[in-house]
Chains A and B, each alone.
Chain A
């Protein structure tokens, strides 16, 4: 699907450019899913393009350019976050601002609710979920992109799913509103 060199072969600046172009839709989709705001995402894509262009010697023609570009983009993302002093959010602190999403009230999950929930995930979990769940990477590839172990990717994806489930199905107990504690008070609650 992606690793095969095009009909006009690898090598040469022209096909580097062309191959890069053919990967841009994916790169943008990754950036928007990762960041949420399309404008900020495109700024990041632009930075990634420049970075990638500047280091094109480090790309081995015939290998997976999509993965290479994704790596550059996510590294850029994290380094910009650090520069802005906005540290990569630690998991629980961020989630503490509980969401009041009630998607199930309406029977199905609204896209806006979903995006809002996605934004509540810690960056590393959101990233892993997108790479595996949408970008079509294998766990090994995602691990290489993120610079971590395969097992780490797996556990991030699992935690991401769990957390999204928590956020999004909180309204399973719709009558009681979105307070997660309500769900945990099991049988004893009936003894009132």
Chain B
């Protein structure tokens, strides 16, 4: 087994399991943070207007075709 004896871990070859967990946790939390920041923003007006228009257009065409 090529397990490095602990005294060899100098400088760059620090035991990295904890470091990996650490980075992993940071990745998860940053991803959440990014996502949640956008999710909590108000819905831009352009989308409210768009849905309004789509809805109106549909009602108008529905009136025409359903008689």
Question: A-side interface residues toward B, CB under 8 Å?
Answer: 13-14, 17, 20-21, 24-26, 28-30, 32-33, 38, 42, 45-46, 49-50, 53, 108-109, 111, 114-115, 118, 129-130, 133-135, 161, 164-165, 168-169, 172-173, 175-176, 182-183, 186-187, 189-190
CB contact under 8 A between A29 and B38, given known A49-B47, A133-B31: yes
Cβ–Cβ contact A165 & B27, under 8 A = yes
| Residue in A114, A161, A165, A187 whose CB lies within 8 Å of B34 | A114
Q: Which 9 A-B pairs have the closest CB atoms?
A: A134-B35, A29-B39, A29-B38, A114-B30, A173-B12, A32-B38, A109-B26, A169-B23, A25-B39
CA distance A114 to B8 in the complex (A): 32
Beyond A46-B47, A161-B24, A172-B19: 18 further Cβ-contacts under 8 Å? A13-B58, A17-B54, A21-B43, A21-B48, A25-B40, A33-B34, A38-B38, A42-B46, A49-B50, A50-B50, A109-B26, A114-B27, A114-B34, A118-B34, A130-B35, A133-B28, A165-B20, A175-B11
Residues of B within 8 Å of A186, CB to CB, are 13
Contacting residues of chain B (19-67) with chain A, CB-CB under 8 angstroms: 19-20, 23-24, 26-28, 30-36, 38-41, 43-44, 46-48, 50-51, 54-55, 58-59
User: A66 → chain B, closest Cβ, in Å?
Assistant: 12
Residues of A within 8 Å of B28, CB to CB, are 133
Residues of B within 8 Å of A32, CB to CB, are 34, 38
Cβ–Cβ contact A182 & B35, under 8 A = no
CA distance A17 to B51 in the complex (A): 7
Cβ–Cβ contact B27 & A172, under 8 A = no
User: A125 → chain B, closest Cβ, in Å?
Assistant: 13
Cβ–Cβ contact A172 & B16, under 8 A = yes
Give the number of A-B contacts (CB < 8 Å).
Answer: 108
User: A79 → chain B, closest Cβ, in Å?
Assistant: 20
- Interface size of B by CB at 8 A reads 37
| Residue in B8, B11, B12, B47 whose CB lies within 8 Å of A24 | B47
CB contact under 8 A between A24 and B35, given known A165-B24, A168-B27: no
Cβ–Cβ contact B43 & A25, under 8 A = yes
22 contacts between A and B (CB under 8 A): A14-B55, A17-B55, A21-B43, A21-B48, A24-B43, A25-B43, A32-B38, A50-B50, A108-B26, A111-B33, A111-B34, A114-B30, A164-B23, A165-B20, A165-B27, A168-B23, A169-B16, A183-B12, A186-B13, A187-B4, A187-B8, A190-B10
